[in-house]
Structures are given as structure tokens and as C-alpha cells.
Chain A
Amino acid sequence: AQKVTQAQTEISVVEKEDVTLDCVYETRDTTYYLFWYKQPPSGELVFLIRRNSFDEQNEISGRYSWNFQKSTSSFNFTITASQVVDSAVYFCALSEAFYGGATNKLIFGTGTLLAVQP
């Protein structure tokens, strides 16, 4: 069965520190997709990144970077020089496609609450 594990329930850092959020997944599929979403205190779910299983290149977007390693089934997220506005719950998710690709469903991890203190 597909599963996503975010072992870190809560992380607290001081502004400007770097922080890494861990994500480990399980799947039998050879083709799959991984996502990160951010849920700030206001409650909406904000898409951050999508990565397919064939692309193991690391990705950087400003202060955000992602490290995808198939060998360890991990898709970790690093925030460099954290800011108070980064305080949120971060979800890692795995996509399970079916019905001839007409839909897919996201299997979410339990989320990591990141608190950035000023």
C-alpha cells in the first residue's frame, strides 16, 4: 500500500536558521509523483512542488530546495534562512493514479508543523 511518513511532528527554529523537513514514502509503482504543500495559519493549502519519479535532480526555488532520493525513498524539503512567514504546516504527498489516468488521489503525510521564532 502507498504510504507517506513525516516523522517530524513539530520543529521550532529561530529566524535565519536552515531547516529540513523529512518525507519518506512507500509505493510499488515505478511511476509516481511527489508533492509538497504548505498550510499557513490561515488554513489554505498552497502547492509548492511536484516531482516525478524519473527526475532525481534536486530543485531550488529561492530559499526552498528539495532533495529527491529514490534509493532511500525520500523527498526532503529544506528552507534556507528561515523567516517567520515560513511558519506553517508542511505536507508531503504521493500521487496514486488509476482509472486509466482519468484521476489520481493524493496520499498525504501527517504534516510537520514548522514554527519560526523571531
Chain B
Amino acid sequence: DTAVSQTPKYLVTQMGNDKSIKCEQNLGHDTMYWYKQDSKKFLKIMFSYNNKELIINETVPNRFSPKSPDKAHLNLHINSLELGDSAVYFCASSQEKAGRGETQYFGPGTRLLVL
């Protein structure tokens, strides 16, 4: 009964390739997020979607394109992968209510290694 799931868990690929990471939540939340954790463990938000609408788009290269087909899914597509994209990518979800900073629940992470 995983609340937030991500696939794949590990992704090893060559520079220049295109890859996608999928995220699904079964919590009934209306807001989903992508965070990136670098090699020093620093976590930073990349995107957020509310009811399939892009809300937050931090300074992320446009090689990264999120897509939300419905409230329960938020996918991340990365074009022309670079060495610096190697990181752990976390999906999260929350049920936002008028800016009350609701708890975000995280998926298990996808470990991306670009060779």
C-alpha cells in the first residue's frame, strides 16, 4: 500500500540520452512535487503541480520537463542527460489548504547515474 511510488528506483544511462521517471500517489492529494538531492545530500525543489497545473518552476534547465496527466501522477522527463544530472530525484505529494504548509510525503527516490 505504498503512498507515493516512483519508478524506476535506479537509473544508469549514458550522457546525451533521454529518460523519464514516473511518480504516482494514492493519498488523494492535489499537489505533487519533484525535488533533487545532490551528492552532498542537499535537497532542493524543482517543480510543483496543483491539480495538473504547474505552480512552481525553480531555476531548472529546460531539458527537464514535468508532466502531470492527472492529480495522482507526476512524471519527469529529462532530455540530453548530462553528468551533472546525476542525483537522487524525489517525488512528493501534499494536500494543500490555503497556504497551511501541509505535510509533504515523499516517494522512495530515483537514483540517477549519468555516465
CB within 8 Å of B: which residues of A?
31-33, 35, 37, 39, 43-45, 47, 50, 52, 89, 91, 95, 97-106, 108, 110-111
Contacts and interface: CB of A to CB of B under 8 A. Distances in A.
A88 to B, nearest CB: 11
Interface of B: 31, 33, 35, 40-45, 48, 50-51, 55-56, 58, 88, 90, 92, 94, 96-109, 111
Contacts of B99: 31, 97-98, 100-101, 104
A91 B103 CA distance: 14
A101 to B, nearest CB: 3
B42 A108 contact: yes
Nearest to A108: B43
Contacts, number: 81
A103 B100 CA distance: 9
B104 A106 contact: yes
Interface SS majority for chain A: strand
Contact of B101 (A89, A95, A99): A95
A33 B94 CA distance: 14
A44 B101 contact: no
A9 to B, nearest CB: 10
A45 B55 contact: no
Given A32-B101, A43-B108, 15 more contacts: A33-B100, A39-B41, A44-B106, A45-B90, A47-B104, A47-B105, A50-B102, A91-B43, A97-B101, A99-B55, A101-B96, A104-B99, A105-B56, A110-B41, A111-B41
